[in-house]
Amino acid sequence: MAKVRPSVGTREFAEAVVARIGKEPDSLPPVRYAKSAPKTAAPSRPVEVGSVERRLVGADVFLYDAQKDAESLGKLLEGLAGPEFELTVITNRGVKVYPGGFPETFTTEHWRCRFEAPGGQTTPQAIRALLARLEEGGCDWIKIENLYSINGENAFSLAYGQ
């Protein structure tokens, strides 16, 4: 039969733990871990990386909007995208809701709106101008994430259903 021990408070428990540091258990078998391999020192100079071409290709703009549905938000954003961007997808809770989403999809007030440059490259200035148009259009943007390609390959994930 297991030994019954009295209940203790946080302070008493912590004091008991400290008193037993470095000791082996007396009621359970001790655990033995293999010694790990010695750690190697970090390289003393930067690692050489081949030629990298990084291009800014768009931005995911996160909006707060508790009033609109995906269809009305999408139509509004297409008009605000301007000639520099194309609204390629809107997701909500990780699910594509525009274009071609299902109206019965449960959505919240947090929307991810992906704007991509039709020419495959944009600038920070064009993204700032997009954000200004969104504000002027009554959109409450709460965060952005720039989208890049590296050596011609997307360095971002496609949305589910994109």
Rounded to whole angstroms, what are the CA distances from 17 to 12, 23, 154? 9, 10, 51
- Residue 112's Cβ-side half-sphere holds a number of Cα atoms within 13 Å equal to 20
Determine contact, residues 140/63, Cβ cutoff 8 Å. yes
**pLDDT one-digit tens code per residue, 44-97:** 777 677 788 999 999 999 999 999 999 999 999 999 999 999 999 999 998 999
- Check residue 71 and give its pLDDT: 95
| Tokens 């944009």 sit on residue | 122
Q: How far is it, in rounded angstroms, from Cα 160 to Cα 23? A: 53
- Give the predicted TM-score (pTM) of the model: 0.70
CATH code, residues 54-154? 3.30.70.1570
